[in-house]
Structure 1
Amino acid sequence: MQFERIDIKQHRDEIVKFRKDSFKVSFGDTSTFGSEEDYLRWLEEKIADFPEGFVLVKEDGEYVGQLELSIREYNGENIGYVNLYYLIPEKRGNGKGKELHNYAKQFFKRNKVDAYHLRVSPTNTSAIKFYRKIGMEEFGPEVGGKVIRMKGKL
């Protein structure tokens, strides 16, 4: 797998499609996605701060996934934050997620954090199973129970 920095102009169709699909998998539909333009503006700001954290995943010349990684402050300390782990449906469940996770761990190590968090929908049981398998623990519900915060250590 290759990891290619996101260029919003060049990759617009893929990144919007992948992000929307992640909402469908997590929440059952894309009704809470918001506007594409708002997402692209947010992405542009984040890429400016963490260009190596926002990448498309390519395999055999085809885009098959996306990572959105950043560093943020949480309870007085800097942590890694996974905004998105995404693989197309055909690539899920066969060990490819570990390759994305390895990229994320290296990104976090380069940015000198030793813990990382993410949020996941409680209905996304396959993602929760994967996160537990890679050593993450549930931290607790957030956003009125719509998501679960999970944390991991490097």
Structure 2
Amino acid sequence: MNFEQIDIKKHRNTVVKFRKDSFRVSFGDTSGLGEEEEYLSWLEEKIRDLPKGFVLAEENGKYIGQLELTIRKYEGNDIGYVNLYYLIPEMRGLGKGKELHNYVMQFFENNKVREYHLRVSPSNINAIKFYKKIGMVEVGPEVDGKVIRMKGYL
């Protein structure tokens, strides 16, 4: 698996498609996604700050996944934050998530953060199982129970 930094002009259709699918898997539809242009503007801004945190996973000439990684303040500390862990449907359950996770760990280590968080839909059982398998623990519900915050350590 290779990782390529996202270039909005080059990868626009791919990142929008992957983001929409992630919302369908997590929440059943894309209603919470917002406007496409807002997402792309947000993505472009974040890429300027941490370009290696926004990558597409490529294998055999095909994009199979996407990561969106940032660093945030949480309770006064810098933490890594996974905005998006994504694999295309046909790559799920094949061990590819571990390869994405290895990239995540290396990125956060390079940026000197020792704790990372993410939010996951309580209905996304497969994702929750994966996150627990890689050592993450539930912190608790957020956004009126629409998501669960999870955290892990390097």
> Normalising TM by the smaller chain, what interval?
over 0.9
- Name the SS of the counterpart of 1:117 in structure 2: strand
RMSD of equivalent CA atoms: 0.3
Partner of 2:39: 39
Gap runs ≥5 in structure 2: none
Partner of 1:65: 65
Q: Which amino acid aligns with 2:54?
A: F
Report deviation, 1:39.
Answer: 0.1
Q: Distance in 2 between matches of 1:6 and 1:44?
A: 9
Partner of 1:132: 132
After TM superposition, list the pairs within 5 Å mapping 1:45-56 onto structure 2.
Answer: 45-56=45-56
Q: Deviations over 1:110-135 (max 9, x none)?
A: 00000000000000000000000000
Partner of 1:29: 29
Q: Which amino acid aligns with 1:111?
A: N
- Name the SS of the counterpart of 1:20 in structure 2: helix
Partner of 2:122: 122
Q: Distance in 2 between matches of 1:78 and 1:36?
A: 29
Q: Distance in 2 between matches of 1:32 and 1:70?
A: 21
Q: Distance in 1 between matches of 2:42 and 2:52?
A: 16
Q: Distance in 1 between matches of 2:29 and 2:77?
A: 34
Q: Distance in 2 between matches of 1:27 and 1:4?
A: 27
Runs of 4+ in 1 over 6 A off after TM superposition: none
Q: Distance in 2 between matches of 1:3 and 1:29?
A: 28
Partner of 2:101: 101
Q: Deviations over 1:26-45 (max 9, x none)?
A: 00001111100000000011
Compute the TM-score of the two structures, normalised by the length of structure 2. 1.00
Q: Deviations over 1:52-85 (max 9, x none)?
A: 0000000000000000001011000000000000
Partner of 2:148: 148
Report deviation, 1:22.
Answer: 0.1
Tell me the matched-pair count. 154
- Name the SS of the counterpart of 2:85 in structure 1: strand
Compute the TM-score of the two structures, normalised by the length of structure 1. 1.00
Q: Distance in 2 between matches of 1:122 and 1:91?
A: 22
